Chains A and B, each alone.
Chain A
Amino acid sequence: MKKVKYIILLIIYMLLSASLSSMFKMFGIIPNLNLIIVVLVGLMSNNIWGLYTGLIVGLFQDIIFSEIIGINALIYMFIGYLSYRISRKINAENTTFAVFTIAISSLLYSIYIYVYEQIFNSMDGLFVKFIGTYIPEMIYTAIFGIIVLKIKDYASKYIIF
Protein backbone atom coordinates (compact mmCIF):
# COMPACT_ATOMS: atom_id res chain seq x y z
CA MET A 1 0.00 0.00 0.00
CA LYS A 2 2.84 2.33 0.90
CA LYS A 3 4.48 1.61 -2.46
CA VAL A 4 1.28 2.34 -4.40
CA LYS A 5 0.81 5.61 -2.51
CA TYR A 6 4.43 6.52 -3.21
CA ILE A 7 4.15 5.78 -6.92
CA ILE A 8 0.95 7.84 -7.22
CA LEU A 9 2.66 10.76 -5.46
CA LEU A 10 5.67 10.37 -7.75
CA ILE A 11 3.48 10.40 -10.88
CA ILE A 12 1.77 13.60 -9.67
CA TYR A 13 5.17 15.17 -8.99
CA MET A 14 6.43 14.19 -12.44
CA LEU A 15 3.36 15.57 -14.21
CA LEU A 16 3.64 18.81 -12.27
CA SER A 17 7.36 19.14 -12.91
CA ALA A 18 6.87 18.37 -16.63
CA SER A 19 4.23 21.03 -17.02
CA LEU A 20 5.50 23.67 -14.59
CA SER A 21 9.32 23.52 -14.82
CA SER A 22 9.39 25.97 -17.72
CA MET A 23 7.61 28.54 -15.52
CA PHE A 24 10.61 28.66 -13.19
CA LYS A 25 12.91 29.62 -16.03
CA MET A 26 15.24 32.42 -14.99
CA PHE A 27 17.87 33.98 -17.28
CA GLY A 28 17.21 31.12 -19.66
CA ILE A 29 18.05 28.45 -17.07
CA ILE A 30 15.57 25.82 -15.92
CA PRO A 31 16.13 24.04 -12.58
CA ASN A 32 16.27 20.26 -12.79
CA LEU A 33 13.33 19.34 -10.54
CA ASN A 34 13.45 15.65 -11.43
CA LEU A 35 17.06 15.39 -10.29
CA ILE A 36 16.17 16.94 -6.92
CA ILE A 37 13.53 14.34 -6.17
CA VAL A 38 15.84 11.47 -7.21
CA VAL A 39 18.68 12.66 -4.95
CA LEU A 40 16.39 13.36 -1.99
CA VAL A 41 14.66 9.98 -2.19
CA GLY A 42 18.07 8.32 -2.52
CA LEU A 43 19.40 10.14 0.52
CA MET A 44 16.39 9.77 2.76
CA SER A 45 15.04 6.30 2.10
CA ASN A 46 16.54 3.28 3.78
CA ASN A 47 16.22 0.99 0.78
CA ILE A 48 16.81 0.92 -2.94
CA TRP A 49 13.95 3.33 -3.76
CA GLY A 50 16.39 5.98 -4.97
CA LEU A 51 17.41 3.72 -7.85
CA TYR A 52 13.84 2.94 -8.89
CA THR A 53 12.71 6.56 -8.49
CA GLY A 54 15.56 7.51 -10.82
CA LEU A 55 14.52 4.86 -13.31
CA ILE A 56 10.83 5.86 -13.33
CA VAL A 57 11.46 9.62 -13.40
CA GLY A 58 14.14 9.29 -16.10
CA LEU A 59 11.98 7.05 -18.29
CA PHE A 60 9.07 9.46 -17.94
CA GLN A 61 11.21 12.44 -18.93
CA ASP A 62 12.71 10.55 -21.87
CA ILE A 63 9.37 9.34 -23.17
CA ILE A 64 7.85 12.79 -23.13
CA PHE A 65 10.71 15.00 -24.25
CA SER A 66 13.57 13.03 -25.84
CA GLU A 67 13.79 11.15 -29.08
CA ILE A 68 15.78 8.31 -27.51
CA ILE A 69 14.27 6.57 -24.50
CA GLY A 70 16.64 5.70 -21.69
CA ILE A 71 19.36 8.37 -21.77
CA ASN A 72 18.08 10.24 -18.73
CA ALA A 73 16.80 7.06 -17.07
CA LEU A 74 20.33 5.64 -16.98
CA ILE A 75 21.96 8.63 -15.29
CA TYR A 76 19.06 9.26 -12.88
CA MET A 77 19.19 5.61 -11.86
CA PHE A 78 22.90 5.83 -11.10
CA ILE A 79 22.48 9.13 -9.25
CA GLY A 80 19.66 7.61 -7.15
CA TYR A 81 21.81 4.60 -6.36
CA LEU A 82 24.90 6.67 -5.55
CA SER A 83 23.02 9.01 -3.21
CA TYR A 84 21.63 5.98 -1.41
CA ARG A 85 25.14 4.60 -0.99
CA ILE A 86 26.45 7.97 0.21
CA SER A 87 23.65 8.29 2.77
CA ARG A 88 24.61 4.90 4.18
CA LYS A 89 28.29 5.79 4.43
CA ILE A 90 27.95 9.29 5.85
CA ASN A 91 24.50 9.18 7.43
CA ALA A 92 24.13 12.93 7.51
CA GLU A 93 20.53 14.04 7.34
CA ASN A 94 21.08 17.76 7.33
CA THR A 95 20.04 20.28 4.71
CA THR A 96 23.54 21.44 3.80
CA PHE A 97 24.66 17.93 2.96
CA ALA A 98 21.54 17.26 0.87
CA VAL A 99 21.95 20.52 -1.05
CA PHE A 100 25.62 19.80 -1.63
CA THR A 101 24.75 16.36 -3.00
CA ILE A 102 22.13 17.89 -5.30
CA ALA A 103 24.70 20.38 -6.64
CA ILE A 104 27.30 17.68 -7.29
CA SER A 105 24.67 15.45 -8.94
CA SER A 106 23.62 18.31 -11.19
CA LEU A 107 27.21 18.74 -12.33
CA LEU A 108 27.56 14.99 -12.86
CA TYR A 109 24.36 14.97 -14.90
CA SER A 110 25.57 17.87 -17.07
CA ILE A 111 28.90 16.19 -17.75
CA TYR A 112 27.18 12.90 -18.61
CA ILE A 113 24.82 14.61 -21.08
CA TYR A 114 27.77 16.54 -22.54
CA VAL A 115 29.70 13.32 -23.16
CA TYR A 116 26.65 11.68 -24.69
CA GLU A 117 25.99 14.64 -26.99
CA GLN A 118 29.68 14.80 -27.86
CA ILE A 119 29.59 11.19 -29.04
CA PHE A 120 26.34 11.36 -31.01
CA ASN A 121 25.94 14.98 -32.07
CA SER A 122 29.49 16.41 -31.78
CA MET A 123 29.07 19.54 -29.66
CA ASP A 124 31.90 21.95 -29.11
CA GLY A 125 32.91 24.67 -26.69
CA LEU A 126 33.05 22.94 -23.31
CA PHE A 127 34.23 26.09 -21.52
CA VAL A 128 31.43 28.24 -22.96
CA LYS A 129 28.86 25.72 -21.84
CA PHE A 130 30.47 25.48 -18.41
CA ILE A 131 29.98 29.20 -17.84
CA GLY A 132 26.75 29.48 -19.76
CA THR A 133 24.83 26.49 -18.47
CA TYR A 134 26.61 24.02 -16.13
CA ILE A 135 27.34 26.37 -13.23
CA PRO A 136 24.10 28.42 -13.34
CA GLU A 137 22.05 25.23 -13.59
CA MET A 138 23.92 23.73 -10.64
CA ILE A 139 23.32 26.79 -8.45
CA TYR A 140 19.69 27.16 -9.45
CA THR A 141 18.96 23.47 -8.91
CA ALA A 142 20.61 23.62 -5.47
CA ILE A 143 18.47 26.64 -4.52
CA PHE A 144 15.37 24.76 -5.63
CA GLY A 145 16.58 21.80 -3.60
CA ILE A 146 16.44 23.99 -0.46
CA ILE A 147 12.86 25.02 -1.35
CA VAL A 148 11.79 21.40 -1.93
CA LEU A 149 13.41 20.40 1.39
CA LYS A 150 11.56 23.17 3.23
CA ILE A 151 8.26 22.08 1.65
CA LYS A 152 9.03 18.50 2.65
CA ASP A 153 9.74 19.54 6.27
CA TYR A 154 6.53 21.55 6.37
CA ALA A 155 4.51 18.70 4.87
CA SER A 156 5.89 16.13 7.32
CA LYS A 157 5.11 18.44 10.24
CA TYR A 158 1.60 19.53 9.41
CA ILE A 159 0.24 17.11 6.84
CA ILE A 160 -0.04 13.43 7.61
CA PHE A 161 0.08 11.26 4.51
Chain B
Amino acid sequence: MYKRDRSNKIHLIIGSVVVIVLIFLSVRKTLFLSNAVNYITTPVFKITKSVNTFFTTKFDFLVNIGKLKSVNDELVEENNKLLAENNVLKIYKKENEELRKLLKLKQDNTYEVIAVGEVIAMPISNWNTNLIINVGEDDNIKKNMVVINSHGLIGKIVEVNKTTSKIRPIIDERSSVSCLISRNSENVILKGNNLSNDKNSCKLEYITFDADILEGDNIITSNISEIYPKGINVGKVKKIKSNDKSRKKTVLVEPVVNIEKVQKVMIIKNKHIVNNQEDN
Protein backbone atom coordinates (compact mmCIF):
# COMPACT_ATOMS: atom_id res chain seq x y z
CA MET B 1 0.00 0.00 0.00
CA TYR B 2 2.79 2.38 0.94
CA LYS B 3 4.60 1.71 -2.34
CA ARG B 4 1.44 2.40 -4.32
CA ASP B 5 0.93 5.68 -2.51
CA ARG B 6 4.47 6.71 -3.30
CA SER B 7 4.14 5.87 -6.98
CA ASN B 8 0.89 7.86 -7.11
CA LYS B 9 2.64 10.85 -5.59
CA ILE B 10 5.35 10.54 -8.23
CA HIS B 11 2.63 10.60 -10.93
CA LEU B 12 1.24 13.76 -9.35
CA ILE B 13 4.64 15.45 -9.17
CA ILE B 14 5.55 14.57 -12.77
CA GLY B 15 2.13 15.77 -13.97
CA SER B 16 2.47 19.06 -12.09
CA VAL B 17 5.95 19.69 -13.49
CA VAL B 18 4.72 19.05 -17.05
CA VAL B 19 1.76 21.39 -16.56
CA ILE B 20 3.89 24.15 -15.02
CA VAL B 21 6.33 23.94 -17.94
CA LEU B 22 3.35 24.20 -20.33
CA ILE B 23 2.08 27.28 -18.47
CA PHE B 24 5.44 29.02 -18.89
CA LEU B 25 5.71 28.00 -22.55
CA SER B 26 2.20 29.16 -23.44
CA VAL B 27 2.43 32.57 -21.76
CA ARG B 28 4.52 34.02 -24.60
CA LYS B 29 3.18 32.41 -27.75
CA THR B 30 0.57 30.08 -29.19
CA LEU B 31 1.72 26.49 -29.01
CA PHE B 32 1.63 23.92 -31.78
CA LEU B 33 -0.53 21.81 -29.46
CA SER B 34 -3.19 24.48 -29.51
CA ASN B 35 -3.32 24.58 -33.32
CA ALA B 36 -3.47 20.79 -33.56
CA VAL B 37 -6.38 20.46 -31.14
CA ASN B 38 -8.24 23.32 -32.83
CA TYR B 39 -8.06 21.53 -36.19
CA ILE B 40 -10.03 18.67 -34.63
CA THR B 41 -12.46 20.64 -32.50
CA THR B 42 -13.42 23.37 -34.98
CA PRO B 43 -15.50 21.08 -37.27
CA VAL B 44 -17.23 19.57 -34.23
CA PHE B 45 -18.10 23.02 -32.89
CA LYS B 46 -19.38 24.09 -36.29
CA ILE B 47 -21.71 21.08 -36.47
CA THR B 48 -23.05 21.44 -32.92
CA LYS B 49 -23.42 25.19 -33.43
CA SER B 50 -25.46 24.77 -36.61
CA VAL B 51 -27.68 22.10 -35.00
CA ASN B 52 -28.17 24.35 -31.98
CA THR B 53 -28.97 27.41 -34.12
CA PHE B 54 -31.40 25.39 -36.25
CA PHE B 55 -33.43 24.30 -33.22
CA THR B 56 -33.34 27.64 -31.41
CA THR B 57 -34.40 29.60 -34.51
CA LYS B 58 -37.25 27.17 -35.22
CA PHE B 59 -38.32 27.37 -31.57
CA ASP B 60 -38.13 31.19 -31.56
CA PHE B 61 -40.16 31.31 -34.77
CA LEU B 62 -42.90 29.13 -33.31
CA VAL B 63 -43.00 31.15 -30.08
CA ASN B 64 -43.17 34.51 -31.87
CA ILE B 65 -45.45 33.52 -34.73
CA GLY B 66 -48.39 35.47 -33.29
CA LYS B 67 -46.43 38.68 -32.88
CA LEU B 68 -45.02 38.81 -36.41
CA LYS B 69 -47.66 41.15 -37.83
CA SER B 70 -47.38 43.79 -35.12
CA VAL B 71 -43.57 43.58 -35.08
CA ASN B 72 -43.52 44.02 -38.86
CA ASP B 73 -45.72 47.11 -38.66
CA GLU B 74 -43.47 48.59 -36.00
CA LEU B 75 -40.37 47.89 -38.09
CA VAL B 76 -41.84 49.46 -41.23
CA GLU B 77 -42.67 52.59 -39.26
CA GLU B 78 -39.19 52.68 -37.71
CA ASN B 79 -37.61 52.12 -41.12
CA ASN B 80 -39.46 55.08 -42.61
CA LYS B 81 -38.40 57.26 -39.72
CA LEU B 82 -34.77 56.16 -40.07
CA LEU B 83 -34.78 56.73 -43.83
CA ALA B 84 -35.92 60.29 -43.33
CA GLU B 85 -33.28 60.80 -40.64
CA ASN B 86 -30.63 59.23 -42.86
CA ASN B 87 -31.34 61.68 -45.66
CA VAL B 88 -30.80 64.60 -43.33
CA LEU B 89 -27.59 63.03 -41.99
CA LYS B 90 -26.25 62.51 -45.51
CA ILE B 91 -26.53 66.22 -46.13
CA TYR B 92 -24.72 66.92 -42.86
CA LYS B 93 -22.01 64.41 -43.77
CA LYS B 94 -21.33 66.11 -47.07
CA GLU B 95 -21.28 69.49 -45.41
CA ASN B 96 -18.95 68.18 -42.71
CA GLU B 97 -16.53 66.78 -45.28
CA GLU B 98 -16.45 70.05 -47.16
CA LEU B 99 -15.89 72.05 -44.01
CA ARG B 100 -13.12 69.69 -42.92
CA LYS B 101 -11.46 70.15 -46.29
CA LEU B 102 -11.68 73.88 -45.89
CA LEU B 103 -10.14 73.70 -42.44
CA LYS B 104 -7.56 71.15 -43.68
CA LEU B 105 -8.39 68.80 -40.83
CA LYS B 106 -7.35 65.18 -41.13
CA GLN B 107 -10.22 62.96 -42.19
CA ASP B 108 -11.36 60.59 -39.48
CA ASN B 109 -10.29 57.08 -40.28
CA THR B 110 -13.18 54.76 -40.85
CA TYR B 111 -12.76 51.34 -39.32
CA GLU B 112 -10.87 49.06 -41.65
CA VAL B 113 -12.54 45.65 -41.57
CA ILE B 114 -10.00 42.82 -41.70
CA ALA B 115 -12.39 39.88 -41.65
CA VAL B 116 -15.92 38.84 -40.83
CA GLY B 117 -16.28 35.81 -38.61
CA GLU B 118 -18.82 33.73 -36.84
CA VAL B 119 -18.88 32.65 -33.20
CA ILE B 120 -18.49 28.86 -33.07
CA ALA B 121 -18.20 28.21 -29.35
CA MET B 122 -19.57 29.92 -26.28
CA PRO B 123 -17.75 29.88 -22.93
CA ILE B 124 -18.07 26.81 -20.72
CA SER B 125 -16.89 28.36 -17.50
CA ASN B 126 -18.08 31.32 -15.44
CA TRP B 127 -14.51 32.47 -15.00
CA ASN B 128 -13.43 32.59 -18.58
CA THR B 129 -15.91 34.19 -20.94
CA ASN B 130 -13.74 33.95 -24.06
CA LEU B 131 -15.64 33.34 -27.28
CA ILE B 132 -14.20 31.33 -30.16
CA ILE B 133 -14.59 32.58 -33.72
CA ASN B 134 -13.90 30.78 -36.99
CA VAL B 135 -11.26 33.14 -38.40
CA GLY B 136 -7.59 33.06 -37.49
CA GLU B 137 -4.04 33.62 -38.69
CA ASP B 138 -5.00 32.50 -42.20
CA ASP B 139 -7.39 35.45 -42.42
CA ASN B 140 -4.74 37.99 -41.29
CA ILE B 141 -6.07 38.23 -37.77
CA LYS B 142 -3.58 39.45 -35.19
CA LYS B 143 -3.61 39.68 -31.44
CA ASN B 144 -5.27 42.78 -29.92
CA MET B 145 -7.43 43.52 -32.93
CA VAL B 146 -10.84 44.97 -32.10
CA VAL B 147 -14.04 42.98 -32.49
CA ILE B 148 -17.34 44.74 -33.20
CA ASN B 149 -20.71 44.03 -34.76
CA SER B 150 -23.33 46.27 -36.26
CA HIS B 151 -24.48 47.43 -32.81
CA GLY B 152 -21.16 48.19 -31.17
CA LEU B 153 -18.10 46.93 -29.37
CA ILE B 154 -17.76 43.26 -28.44
CA GLY B 155 -14.18 42.94 -27.27
CA LYS B 156 -10.69 42.24 -28.52
CA ILE B 157 -8.71 39.30 -29.84
CA VAL B 158 -6.55 37.71 -27.15
CA GLU B 159 -5.19 34.68 -28.94
CA VAL B 160 -4.87 33.70 -32.59
CA ASN B 161 -4.56 30.16 -33.89
CA LYS B 162 -4.31 29.03 -37.51
CA THR B 163 -8.05 28.81 -38.14
CA THR B 164 -9.67 30.16 -34.97
CA SER B 165 -9.21 33.02 -32.54
CA LYS B 166 -10.31 33.80 -29.01
CA ILE B 167 -12.18 36.97 -28.15
CA ARG B 168 -12.25 38.48 -24.68
CA PRO B 169 -15.61 40.26 -24.47
CA ILE B 170 -16.00 43.55 -22.61
CA ILE B 171 -18.18 41.92 -19.94
CA ASP B 172 -15.23 39.76 -18.80
CA GLU B 173 -13.77 40.79 -15.44
CA ARG B 174 -10.29 40.92 -16.94
CA SER B 175 -11.22 43.35 -19.67
CA SER B 176 -10.94 47.11 -19.34
CA VAL B 177 -11.64 49.70 -22.00
CA SER B 178 -10.92 53.39 -21.93
CA CYS B 179 -14.20 55.15 -22.74
CA LEU B 180 -15.92 58.49 -22.54
CA ILE B 181 -19.43 59.67 -21.86
CA SER B 182 -20.72 61.07 -25.13
CA ARG B 183 -22.85 63.77 -23.45
CA ASN B 184 -19.98 65.60 -21.74
CA SER B 185 -16.81 63.82 -22.96
CA GLU B 186 -15.84 62.76 -19.44
CA ASN B 187 -13.20 60.02 -19.48
CA VAL B 188 -14.05 56.77 -17.73
CA ILE B 189 -12.67 53.24 -17.55
CA LEU B 190 -15.11 50.45 -18.35
CA LYS B 191 -14.49 47.10 -16.67
CA GLY B 192 -16.25 43.77 -17.02
CA ASN B 193 -18.57 42.67 -14.25
CA ASN B 194 -19.53 39.12 -15.17
CA LEU B 195 -18.88 37.55 -11.76
CA SER B 196 -21.20 39.73 -9.71
CA ASN B 197 -25.00 39.55 -9.58
CA ASP B 198 -25.57 41.54 -12.76
CA LYS B 199 -24.02 39.09 -15.16
CA ASN B 200 -24.43 40.84 -18.49
CA SER B 201 -23.13 44.20 -17.43
CA CYS B 202 -20.01 46.28 -17.05
CA LYS B 203 -19.05 48.84 -14.45
CA LEU B 204 -17.24 52.16 -14.56
CA GLU B 205 -14.06 52.46 -12.55
CA TYR B 206 -12.00 55.35 -11.22
CA ILE B 207 -14.83 57.85 -11.14
CA THR B 208 -15.04 60.60 -8.59
CA PHE B 209 -18.09 60.94 -6.36
CA ASP B 210 -19.19 64.18 -8.01
CA ALA B 211 -18.63 62.97 -11.58
CA ASP B 212 -21.37 64.11 -13.92
CA ILE B 213 -22.98 60.83 -14.93
CA LEU B 214 -26.68 60.26 -15.44
CA GLU B 215 -28.72 57.13 -16.04
CA GLY B 216 -29.17 56.57 -19.77
CA ASP B 217 -25.90 58.28 -20.78
CA ASN B 218 -24.23 56.81 -23.85
CA ILE B 219 -20.74 55.39 -23.45
CA ILE B 220 -18.36 55.31 -26.43
CA THR B 221 -14.69 54.36 -26.77
CA SER B 222 -12.25 57.19 -26.23
CA ASN B 223 -9.18 58.35 -28.06
CA ILE B 224 -6.83 57.57 -25.17
CA SER B 225 -6.80 53.79 -25.61
CA GLU B 226 -3.91 52.22 -27.46
CA ILE B 227 -6.14 49.57 -28.97
CA TYR B 228 -9.72 50.70 -29.43
CA PRO B 229 -10.43 53.34 -32.09
CA LYS B 230 -12.47 56.34 -30.97
CA GLY B 231 -16.23 56.47 -31.23
CA ILE B 232 -17.38 52.86 -31.15
CA ASN B 233 -20.68 52.49 -29.34
CA VAL B 234 -20.20 50.56 -26.09
CA GLY B 235 -23.25 50.83 -23.88
CA LYS B 236 -25.68 52.83 -21.78
CA VAL B 237 -25.56 53.69 -18.09
CA LYS B 238 -28.11 51.40 -16.45
CA LYS B 239 -27.89 52.08 -12.74
CA ILE B 240 -26.02 54.44 -10.44
CA LYS B 241 -25.57 53.58 -6.77
CA SER B 242 -24.14 56.29 -4.54
CA ASN B 243 -22.86 55.73 -1.06
CA ASP B 244 -22.77 59.06 0.76
CA LYS B 245 -20.82 57.72 3.73
CA SER B 246 -17.86 56.29 1.85
CA ARG B 247 -18.23 58.87 -0.96
CA LYS B 248 -18.25 56.08 -3.49
CA LYS B 249 -20.24 55.72 -6.67
CA THR B 250 -20.95 52.46 -8.47
CA VAL B 251 -22.07 52.82 -12.06
CA LEU B 252 -23.42 49.84 -13.98
CA VAL B 253 -23.36 49.92 -17.77
CA GLU B 254 -25.46 47.78 -20.05
CA PRO B 255 -23.53 46.89 -23.22
CA VAL B 256 -25.30 47.57 -26.52
CA VAL B 257 -24.29 44.12 -27.73
CA ASN B 258 -25.84 41.12 -26.01
CA ILE B 259 -22.71 38.97 -25.83
CA GLU B 260 -24.69 35.77 -25.24
CA LYS B 261 -26.51 36.13 -28.55
CA VAL B 262 -23.65 37.28 -30.76
CA GLN B 263 -23.44 35.37 -34.03
CA LYS B 264 -21.55 37.35 -36.66
CA VAL B 265 -18.65 39.61 -35.76
CA MET B 266 -16.36 42.02 -37.61
CA ILE B 267 -12.69 42.28 -36.82
CA ILE B 268 -11.22 45.73 -37.36
CA LYS B 269 -7.68 47.05 -37.22
CA ASN B 270 -6.65 48.52 -33.91
CA LYS B 271 -4.91 51.85 -33.56
CA HIS B 272 -1.45 50.41 -33.08
CA ILE B 273 -0.87 46.73 -33.32
CA VAL B 274 1.11 46.34 -30.16
CA ASN B 275 3.15 43.21 -30.17
CA ASN B 276 3.58 41.38 -26.90
CA GLN B 277 2.13 44.25 -25.00
CA GLU B 278 -1.08 43.85 -23.06
CA ASP B 279 -3.40 46.78 -22.70
CA ASN B 280 -5.96 44.67 -20.91
A and B interact physically: yes
Residue of A whose beta carbon sits closest to that of B31: A69
Residues of B183-216 whose CB lies within 8 A of A:
194-197, 199-200
Residues A65 and B196 in contact, CB atoms below 8 Å apart: no
Across-interface contacts of A113 in B (CB, < 8 A)? 127
B63 at the interface (CB under 8 A from A): no
In the complex the two chains form, is B8's CB within 8 Å of A48's CB?
Answer: yes
0/1 interface trace, chain A 111-132, chain B, CB 8 Å (1 if under): 0010001000101010011011
Question: A77's contact among B19, B123, B173, by CB below 8 Å, is which?
Answer: B19
- The count of residues in chain A whose C-beta lies closer than 8 Å to any C-beta of chain B is 52
* Cβ contact of A18, chosen from B22, B34, B124, cutoff 8 A: B124
Within 8 A of B (CB), among A54-102: 55, 58-61, 63-74, 77-78, 81, 84
Task: Confirm or deny: A40 has a beta carbon within 8 angstroms of a beta carbon on chain B.
Answer: no
Chain B residues near A58: list those with CB within 8 A: 19
Do A65 and B125 have beta carbons less than 8 Å apart? yes
Contacts of A65 in B (CB 8 A): 121, 123-125, 128, 130, 132, 166
**What's the Cα separation between A133 and B27 when bound, in Å?**
27
**How distant is B231 from chain A, measured CB to nearest CB, in Å?**
27
- CB neighbours (8 Å) of B166 from chain A are 65, 67
In the assembled complex, A33 has its CB within 8 A of some CB on chain B: yes
**Separation of A8 and B15 alpha carbons in the complex (Å):** 21
- Tell me the complex Cα distance, A29–B196, Å: 11
- Could you give, for residues 37-62 of chain A, a 1 whenever the CB lies within 8 Å of some chain B CB and a 0 otherwise? 00000000000100110010011110
Binds A, one of B42-50, B93-101, B264-272: B42-50
Whether A19 sits at the interface, judged by CB under 8 Å, is yes
Q: Is B11 an interface residue (CB 8 A)?
A: yes
When the two chains form their complex, are residues A64 and B126 in contact, meaning their CB atoms are under 8 A apart? no
B interface vs A, CB < 8 Å?
8, 11-12, 15-16, 19-20, 22-23, 25-27, 31, 33-34, 37-38, 41, 44-45, 48-49, 52, 121-128, 130, 132, 158-159, 166, 173-174, 194-197, 199-200, 260, 280
List 7 tightest A-B contacts by C-beta distance, closest first. A28-B199, A22-B122, A19-B48, A21-B124, A70-B23, A69-B26, A70-B22
